[in-house]
Each structure stands twice: as structure tokens, then as C-alpha cells.
Structure 1
Amino acid sequence: MTRTMPLWLLLTLQTAVSAASLVVEIVAGRMLAPHVGMSLYTWTSIIAVVLAGFSAGHWWGGRLAERPVEKALAWTGGALIAAALTTAIAVNLLRLVATPLLDAVGHPVWGIAAITMAVFFLPSFFAGVPAPVLAHVSVTRAAPDQQGRALGAMFAAGAIGAIAGTLLAGFLFISWLGTSATLAVVTATYVVSGLLLFWLARSAALKIAAIAALAALALSGIALATPSPCTVESRYFCIRTVDMSADPDSPVHLMVIDHLGHGMSARDVPTVMFTEHAAMLDELARRRAPRADFTSFFIGGGSYSIPRAFAEHGTGEIVVAEIDPAVTALAERDFWVDPDSVTILHEDARRALLTRPDQLYDVIIGDAFTDVVVPVHLVTQEFFELARARLTEDGTFLMNVIDYEDRLQALGSIVQTMRQVFPSVEVWTHAAQPDPGSRMVFVIAAGNSPSDFDEFSAPMPFLMTFGALGDRFVTQIAEARGQVLTDDYAPIDRLIGRPD
């Protein structure tokens, strides 16, 4: 005979389990980012796998609901203990399978899907089991004239829990606890809920369930003790500082955001760039600027390598819009950035430009990336119109673009879009024959007039030569492979693609 189960208790269980399952879904994105980046493909895989797990769990839970209440509740408690165990091992399982699966699958997009399935399907499956069982119990235990209300309340509790879990994960848990501790909280929630169901069912397996629950908590402890891949885990990114120094007395640091390097700086040579895109952006900005003390606006801060170099050169006002304060804090701590040398705006760059109509700049530099893709709202015709409106008459808009030699659809589309706004659009890259299918780094320079040079060299730290692609070739790429990107339609993730 089961214990008394008031509706409020069933609703509480449903809310807690639903909240915990959605926390896992949100945390999954952060966990995958250091391995595969954060892109449309990542979130598509996460949502699809988690929903598949929920659906299969709901189906199995429906089968369990047909059993006597005591057995249904005990089996559901077992499912929650299994959810706790599979959640507890997720952190270390991901680190174990990520690289082998990516290598085995070959195609990066399917690799992301395979990793997500391996790590997050089972936690979602087991977390999906309780909903139909608890709903069935709530209806059968309710008075005949209140069964509809009970069922509606259970659905509402699931939705409220999902909302609460999403908000807690996004606004509280990840930034304050980190992924491992957040999953430990979820594991504990599943453990308590599962043991409560065993207790309600008066199940003889309660002691065995308690042992399994302790194992789940112990596995969570192991995950907590495992070093985090992040130097800083912020609301937006997993950020790492990697020491690249050849000489300990002359430090060089690389900033890695999620799984990609976003800038490198040397303490003793602030004007030397260490990446192709930074070398081109730095040199083109200073060469095209209308005066030595030019003003500049940066879309994205990263390691602040170029703003730091500009400050060393003694340019005019430097404004940086960096959405993540944690990135700035790490740049100040590990990348020798003097916060007094720049004006820092911790907000989205488009909004920063939009809300300051009276401020004009000689140079605007776009260097913001999510994975290898520029955020979609920063590559549209509407954004480029805003950027041009914030430039002085002789000002220049510079933008870093990554694309593949055998595709160039993203480059062509951005050029085609910029040409709707700027009279002059140039494309610069390393002056060397690229390997077939290789990833290429470009910088687009746009303004009212073209550059008065078509080649330059810059130290990074070895001397590298860069050149402007011919106008005819750029036009051919733009017209044959490009499309105008707008706020309504800008499929930049699909255009840049990924190598086969």
C-alpha cells in the first residue's frame, strides 16, 4: 500500500524534475563549447537529442503508468536514480569521448551530434520518465470532478519547472557555480526525488536505491574534483589563458574562448601581433586612418591586443564594446591591458553604436566571433548602414572574416552586403597561394575611398606580407557566391559551412 500522496507533493516532484532536466539542457551547451565551439550546429544537436530523450522517456513512463501504483512509483524512482548516475558522469564522460568521436565520425557537424547523443541522451531519457507516471497518479487519486484540474496542474508544473530551470541555469548556476557544480545540484535533485518515490511506494528496494544514490553523489564529487578546462567560466564563455612563452622572463599568452584562440599578446612587445587577422586589422587601421591621433571603436575585445597596440602608438580615443565583463577582467589580469587607456562598454556592440548617435569614429573594427562565425546581427545590411553612419567622412570599417578556399560563400555574401552600403570594399589576405580547401583569414576594408596601397608587411612576430585581392576577382566571388544579408535573413552559419 502506498503512502498518502497529496497533489501538492506530486506537483512539487514534477516541478523539480522538470527544472533539473532543463538545467542539464542549458549546461550542455557550455560543456560542449570547449570541444566543438558554440554555434547553430551545437544548439541544434543539443535540442534535438534532449527532446528525443524526453520523448523516449515519456513513452516508457507511459508504459510504467499502466502498472500498479506501487510498482510504477518504484520504477520511476529507479529511473530518477539512473538520471542521477548518468548526469553525474556527464562531465568526465564528455572529456573521454569527445576527441575519439570527432575523429571517428570525421564530419564536424555529425561529430557534434554524436557527442551530444553519447553524453546527454540517457540523462534526458531517464528524466522524461516521471511526467506520465506522476500525471497518471494525480488523476487516478483525484476526485472524479477534479481529475481535469489535476491533469492541468501537472502539465503546468512541468512547464513552470522548465522555465525555472532555464532561468536558474542561464542567470545563476553556470556563472556562479560552474558546470560541474551545477550538474552536482541536478544530481542531488534527482537523488532526493528518486528516493522520495521509493519511500512513497514503500518499496523494498529503497536500500539498494540509497546505495545507488550514494554512488551518484560520489561520482558528482569526482566530477567536482576534476580540474575545469576554463580559467574563467562566465555567463557567456569558457575562457582560458594559455602560456605560450618561449622565455619565462618574457611572457606570451594566448586567450582561448570556448575552443578557439581569440588573441595573443606579449608583455614586452605590445605592438607586435601574433595572428594574421590581428596583424591585418592593426596595420590597415593605422595606414587608412585620416590622422595619427585617430579615434577607434572595437566590436569585441578578446585579448585586447589591438587596442593595447593602439594605446602604445598613441592614437586617439579607443572605445571597446565587449559584451562579457569576464573577458575584460582576464585581459587586464593576464594580457597586460591598462583599463585607463581604453573606454570599455560591456554591452552588445550594435546597441552601443545605436544608442550613441553623436559619437563618430575614424576607424571601426569588427572582430567578434561566436565559434568561427561572426554573430548574425553584425553582418547584415542594416548593421553596416549603422556602422557607416558612425564613421567620419574619411573613416574606415574593418572586419575579420574566416572562410574556406573552396567555398567563399560567407566572404562573398558579406562583400555583396557591404557593397550595398559602402562605395569602396576591399578584401585583404595573406599574399600566398592557399592550399585547396584550407581555412583562410580575410580582412574586409570598407569606406568612401580605396586604399592608396595594395600590399604591406607586418611582424607577427615574423614578417608576413598581405595583399588586396583584385577588384575583378572580388566582384566575381560576390556575384557568383554571395547574397545580400539582412536582419530578416542572414544564414551565416550555413554559408561558412564546415569542411567535409
Structure 2
Amino acid sequence: MLTAYLLALAGAGGFSMMVLEVAAPRLLAPYFGSSNYTWTNVIGVILAALAAGYYAGGRLADRRPGLGPLVTVAILAAVLSAGVPWAVRALCPLLVPEAAAESSAVPLLVRASLFATLLLFAPPLFLMGAMSPMTVRLLSRAGGVGWASGACSASVTAGAIAGTFGTTLWLVPAIGSHRTVLLASLALLVIALPGLAGGSGPLARATGAVGTVFVAVSAAVPPGPVLPGPNVLYETETPYQYARVTRRGDALLLQTEGQRRGAQAVLREGSFLSGGLVFDHFLGLPWLSGWRPGERLDLLVLGYGVGAVGRQVEHFFGPFSDLRIDGVEIDPELVEIGERFFGLDRGDPHLSLQIADARQYNLVSKRTYRAIVLDVFSRARQVPSHLATREFFETVKDRLRHGGVFGMNVIVPIADGEALPRLLESVRASFGEVFVERIPGSLNMLILARRDLPLDLTGASARLRAQDASRMASEFEDLRRLLLAGWQRAAKWPGRPGFAPLTDDGTPFEHLLLRDSLVAWSRLP
């Protein structure tokens, strides 16, 4: 009977440990983003905490080899674990001031996430690590040490497997990261409490009583909003990211993890323009491809999101062309947000929307387009590394028709670092030439390239100036002024010796962004 109880407790510890490990980056993401460096901080701290716990638990098992100490450690682990989601919401906003939520502050976010992980996640994981050697010591009374070690490891691993798959595939989508951690803490507590009947001392019983009250209250209290505020209309935790809809003046904004001031999409009341943001500049791609009113326009939007760019294209080009928009979005919940708040209509006859990864779509699709938009960001402000390599841009080129134009939104902390030149060299290696346009008032840059033909900014500007605004959509005059000003700022990338294109097996783009962010950080006054 004791053996079965000990193995069940070991499995519950493994389950809680893995739930906390998987949920940690998601709990931290609204404040620090979920870059590879946040994940590295989480994994590194977890491994260090577990290693220290294994050692300390082994020492404690030799000094006090009883059930009472093990149960006390398990209850304390459950209590500390249950407090993590609440502590994250209380501490993390203090570590990331509102003014620090820009790409130039990435080093601050990395350090802050390391501090938060050490302070909040290390203590419960230290105790969960300590449970294993203490369990082995007790199990060895019923058999050899080898059997006890193997049985305990198998139980912990089985629990960890359940925590890994259960958290990602079921618990987080169903109840969110906050409640998932509380549920795992409650499970560990429920399995630990019967051990108090095995002759535990007053300290263990007092710990069990206090722990039961704390975990029960933590689980019963509604979590409330992650980032509360009077202008927050909606927030959710999707399978890929934290997302919220906020109102700023006359505009609705979609903001994802780590964003406080910027936005992934903007919908202004009474307007189809975003106020000069990069989304407006995407509307120049058809003109750069040589399109004229009345001609067919096939557009591919990689990173369709809530449909902000598609809505603009519908307004400015739909009535004046045979329009088809193919949208590709990996996160289905963003599409649902678009339908609810941003006017996305999946029944639009001009729109075909696919839930897929952008690179995967390019590889399997056989369609070709007059213009392709790439507006994909994982971790709020970083282009995924697999969408920033020469191999990927070759797939983009394959999807373009002769003379088709490609436009890519990218955010870089500094223009004279390593990330932007390497990215531009990657595009140039596929297309032959590349132009870059900085978007005023932001860190965004628009990268432009054309298949087979030179990008004729002068000719496109002349055609756009000659277009009769009275025969086009409302706000066309405003759009024309914006595009012409942008094309005047655009410059052809001359190349820079020593900067090789990015490749699938080379340095990840994200790593270059962090190095440039460190340089930007050092330049701050």
C-alpha cells in the first residue's frame, strides 16, 4: 500500500513539474514575450533548480528518511506552485515599465524574465526535485535501491509525459495557463495529503492544513485579466500566443505578447487607413507590380492575422479589379478575433483563408500571385527564423508571377547592426535586388523585391500620380500621398561585404536581433 502511494506521489510530482515548465513561458509571455531567450531562461533555471533539489533531497533523505518529511516537501511544493500564477501577475508588470516595451529594450526583457523565473519558478521546482531521492529512499525498504530508483524514475517520467501532452493539447486550450498550474498544484496536494495519516508530526500536519486552505482559495478565486486596463476590450490565450484587443482613441488595436504601445493590427473608426503604419504601405505592392485598374489582382497575405490588410485591399482594389486574396494564418483564434472585432468576413467571395504555416503553404501551393505580403511575427516583434532565410525567399519567388512584387514587414532595433544586412542579403540572393523603406515614427521597415524585373519606383510613382482619384476609392488621395512619400524614402540595398545570406542551418535571425538589441541598449543615454 505504501509503495503504491509513493509511486502515485512521484507521478503527481512529475506531472506538476512538467505543467509548471510548459506553462512558465506562457505565463511570462504577456510581459516579456516568448523569445528563444525567454525559453532558455526558463529551461536553464528549471534544470538548475531540479539539480539543486535532487542534491538537497538526497541529503535530507539520509538525515530524515521518513514519510513525514517527504509529504511536507510535496505540500510545500504544491503551495508554492499554486502561488506562481498570482505572483507573476503581481511582480512582472513592475519589472517591465510601459516605456520599456520596445525592441530596443529586449536586453531588459531578457534579464527581467531571468529574474522572474529565478524568483518565482525555481523554489517550487527545487522542492519537486527534492521529492525524487526522498521517494527512492523510502521505496528501497521494499526492494533494492536499483528497483526503487527505476520505479521512481518511471513514475516521475510517466507523470511528466502526462503533463507535457495534457498541458499543451488539452488543459491550456481549455482553461488557460493560470488555471492549469493551479489544477496541477491541487492534484499534487490531493495526493500528498493522505500521507499525513502515516504518523506525520505537527509541522507536517500544520503545513497540510495551511497548504490546503491556500491552494483551495487560489483555485477558487477567478484569475481576472492578465493585463487589466480600462481600454482592454478582450484578451485570450491562443495556442500560439497571448493576444488582446484594446481601444486607443478612435482605433482598435490587436496587441500580442510583450506589446504595450505597438500593435499587430489597427482598425480606425471611419477610415480604411491605419495612420501611416506599415499596413498602409503594403497597399503599394500592386502598383509596383505594374497593376492598373480593371486588371486581375491575385494577392497572397502570409500572416493574415485579424484581416486588417485584407480589409484595406478589399476597399482600395476590390471595386476596380478582378480581386482574389489568399490569406494564410497559423493561429485560428486570431481569425476569430478578426471576425468579432475587425470586420473579417470569411464568407467574402474574394477571400480564401487557410490555417497553415507560411512556409508550409508556399511549399505545397501551386498558385502564383501578382503581389505577396509577409507580415508574420512570432514573439510579438520577431520574424520567425525559418521565414528569414534564403531558402524561404526562394519559395516566395516561386509563388510570384513574372514581375510580381514581394513586401515584407520587419522590425530591427538598429539599421547598422548585423540582422538587417544579413536579412537583406538573403532576399537579394533570391531576387537579385532589394529595396528597403523605413516607416516613419516606428521601428518597422518594409523590404521590397520584384521577380525577374527591376523594381521601377519612378514608373510606379508616375502611374500613381496620373491616376484619377475621382474614379478610385475614398481616401485614395491620402493613400497616394503616403505611398509616394514612402517610395521617395525607399533605397536600393547596395550590399555590404562580409554579410552572408541567412540559411536554414546557419545563425538564427532571432540571435542576430538580440545581438543588435544589446548594441541598441548600450547606446541609450
Give the counterpart letter for 1:113 in structure 2: L
Most deviating of 148-157 and 415-424: 148-157
Q: Which residue of the partner structure matches residue 268 of structure 1?
A: 270
The 1:96–1:385 alpha-carbon spacing in structure 2 relative to 1, beyond 3 Å, is: same
The 2-side partners of 1:129 and 1:459 are apart by 65
Structure 1 pair 318–406 and aligned structure 2 pair: CA distance change class (3 A): closer
CA contact (8 A) 2:74 2:127 kept: yes
Match 1:306 to one of 304, 309, 323: 309
CA deviation after TM superposition for structure 1 residue 236, in Å: 1.0
Q: In the aligned structure 2, how far is the partner of 1:318 from the partner of 1:58? A: 56
Structure 1 residue identity aligned to 2:113: I
Which residue number corresponds to residue 366 of structure 1? 374
1:459 Cα deviation (Å)? 4.9
- Answer yes or no: is the 8 Å Cα contact 1:77–1:193 preserved in 2: no
* Alpha-carbon distance in 1 for matches of 2:194, 2:480: 63
- Tell me the CA shift for residue 275 of structure 1: 5.4
Alignment of 1:42-441 (within 5 A): 42-70=38-66, 73-102=67-96, 107-142=108-143, 144=144, 147-221=145-219, 224-229=222-227, 231-246=235-250, 252-260=251-259, 261-269=263-271, 271-274=272-275, 276-288=277-289, 290-291=291-292, 292-312=295-315, 313-314=317-318, 315=321, 316-341=323-348, 342-356=351-365, 358-371=366-379, 372-405=381-414, 407-430=416-439, 440-441=443-444
What amino acid does structure 1 have at the position aligned with 2:354? L
- Please state if 1:452 is matched with 2:460: no
**Are the structure 2 counterparts of residues 440 and 197 from structure 1 closer, same or farther at C-alpha, using a change threshold of 3 Å?**
same
| 1:19 aligns to 2:15 (yes or no) | yes
1:184/1:108 CA distance change after superposition, 3 Å: closer
Query: Please, which moves more after superposition, 127-136 or 221-230?
Result: 221-230
Change (3 A) 1:78 1:310: same
Render the CA deviation track for 1:416-445: whole Å, top value 9, x for unaligned.
111111023111123x6x8xxxx7311111
Offset, 1:30: 0.9
Normalised TM-score (structure 2): 0.84
1:486 Cα deviation (Å)? 1.1
The answer as to whether partners of 2:196 and 2:205 remain within 8 angstroms in 1 is no
Which stretch shows the higher mean deviation, 359-368 or 326-335? Answer: 359-368
Question: For residue 492 of structure 1, what is the aligned residue in structure 2?
Answer: 509
SS, match of residue 189 in structure 1 = helix
Q: Using the TM superposition, give the Cα deviation of residue 326 of structure 1 relative to its aligned residue in structure 2, in angstroms.
A: 0.4
Amino acid paired to 2:414: E
In 1, Cα distance between equivalents of 2:64 and 2:241: 47
Paired amino acid for 2:375: D
- Aligned residues of 1:409 and 1:495 also touching (Cα < 8 A): yes
Tell me how far apart the structure 1 counterparts of residues 52 and 166 of structure 2 sit (CA, whole Å): 25
Checking the alignment, whether the CA contact within 8 Å between 2:89 and 2:226 is kept in structure 1 is: no
- Unmatched 5+ residue regions in structure 1? 247-251
SS at match of 2:297: coil
- Give, in whole Å, the separation in 1 of the partners of 2:378 and 2:276: 18
Kept in 1: contact 2:305–2:329 (CA 8 A):
yes
Match in the other structure for 2:473: none
Summarize deviations over 1:442-487 as a string: whole Å, max 9, x none: 111112223322679985899583244433xx325x435x331111
Q: Does the CA contact (< 8 Å) of 1:37 and 1:258 recur in 2?
A: yes
Gaps (5+ residues) in structure 2?
228-233, 465-475
Q: Does 1:470 align with 2:466?
A: no
Answer yes or no: is the 8 Å Cα contact 1:91–1:223 preserved in 2: no
**Structure 1 pair 363–212 and aligned structure 2 pair: CA distance change class (3 A):** same
Distance 2:56 2:410 in 1: 47
Identity %: 26
| Contact 1:61–1:129 under 8 Å retained in 2 | yes
Distance, in Å, in 2 between the alignment partners of 1:224 and 1:404 is 38
1:84/1:216 contact within 8 Å kept:
no
CA distance in 1, matches of 2:418, 2:38: 21
- Aligned CA RMSD, in angstroms, stands at 2.6
